[in-house]
Amino acid sequence: MVEEKTLTDLPHKILETAAKAGIEASGEGRSGSLFHLNQETVYSAINREFEGRVEVMDTKEALRKYGWLSDYLWRAVKADADEYTRKVAEEYSGGYFMRVFEGAEVDFPLQSCLMIARKGLEQRIHNIIIAEPGSKARIISGCIVEEDIGGGSHLGISEFYVKESATLNFTMIHNWDENMTVRPRSAAIVEAGGSFISNYICLRPVRDLQMYPKATCLGRGSRARFNSIIYGVGGSAINVGSMIDLQGEGSSGEITSRVIAKDKASVTAPGRLLGNNAGVKAHMECRGLLLDDGASIHAIPELYSNRKDVEMSHEAAVGRIADKEINYLMSRGLPRDEATSLIVRGFLDVDILGLPPKLKAEVDGIVDSLVEGM
């Protein structure tokens, strides 16, 4: 593993591509950074003012450094869950290990980038994230492929461990292309009083994407939330769902998704909430917008409980842009394409992610650049 001294030592084209997935090459506004290119980690560092509060390094390096870390490996995600987890269990190139120290409150997010820049590569990644008791932090992770490499695949395992009274907010931005097959597998274990928020954004074409992250709220009063913003375009086949297993007394969960399908894209959005203890509260909301007759959206909300004293609900809606909205904007002088883009931008509401103002502005900029001229 050869690491660069700074992120800006990487080729300009690589950094320019990474910026489309929210990666800040200067490291400004970030507490730490890791960059994994093809099959190796080429950069990892903590900004000096955050030393002793967070750490980030390649997963393999972390496993060599900390003997106790092997107890977390394949605990949240099972190695034999499917053919993709088995492949990563057999061999993986690395990934990121991130840890937020006990009691640390980190204002600036950690960032990571997983990039493919080699044609036909099958990238296998294993990430482990630990938020120690009483800590509070945010992570922004960009997964991206360099343009025109002609296809490849990404198999990514991510295991999250949110300890007692810790808060972890994780935002993942996928920026693949129409030749990529993508199979993330992730799960979180949340202890008493802990809070795990997972934000997912996918706005670029992808040949075949399937993921179904799970959060298990083990402790009393634990919380989990999954938010997703998905724009299916071209011939993309996207199946992105999530599940929250509410095992702790008084635990709560929420699943919120915004889905747009255009051209021949097919988007499936399954969601499952399991109420397995007293006092559980959970809600699921899926809104879909169809822009073309050839596109499809399949929302699958599912609730399950074996306890009488739970509060669980769901709502789902799929429709099209109302003609009156288009006509109103056109009457104000906007061409139809611009009117459509403006409505789509409003539908892809980044506010549901609950990001702090500065990070929200960054993600807003990414959404704007991708929707512009659609």
Whole-number Cα distances in Å, 306 to 66, 161, 189, 346: 41, 26, 21, 38
CB-facing half-sphere around the CA of 94: CA atoms within 13 A: 27
DSSP string, 104-138: -B-SSPEEEEEEE-STT-EEEEEEEEEE-TT-EEE
Q: What is the pTM of this model?
A: 0.92
32-37 and 40-46 beta bridge pairing: antiparallel
The model's pLDDT over 99-146, given as tens digits with 9 standing for 90+, comes to 999 999 999 999 999 999 999 999 999 999 999 999 999 999 999 998
My answer on whether 237 and 362 are in the same domain is no
What the block records as the tokens of 108 is: 């600036």
Question: Residues 17-36: what's their mean pLDDT?
Answer: 89
Residue 275 resides in a domain = yes
Number of domains in the chain: 2
According to the model, what pLDDT value does residue 50 have? 95
The model's pLDDT over 143-201, given as tens digits with 9 standing for 90+, comes to 999 887 878 999 999 999 999 999 999 999 998 989 999 999 999 999 999 999 999 99
Q: What phi, psi does 7 have (nearest 5°)?
A: -60, -35
My answer on whether 329 and 295 are in the same domain is no
Q: Which residue has the tokens 């990563």?
A: 88
Spatial separation of the C-alpha atoms in residues 348 and 281, rounded to whole Å: 26
Domain hosting 237: range is 7-322
My answer on whether 250 and 174 are in the same domain is yes
Handedness of CA 24, 25, 29, 34 (dihedral sign): positive
Q: Which residue has the tokens 């409003």?
A: 346
Residue 221 resides in a domain = yes
My answer on whether 84 and 210 are in the same domain is yes
My answer on whether 82 and 148 are in the same domain is yes
Domain boundary among 322, 347, 362: 322
My answer on whether 306 and 329 are in the same domain is no
My answer on whether 15 and 158 are in the same domain is yes
My answer on whether 47 and 196 are in the same domain is yes
The model's pLDDT over 54-99, given as tens digits with 9 standing for 90+, comes to 999 999 999 999 999 999 999 999 999 999 999 999 999 999 999 9
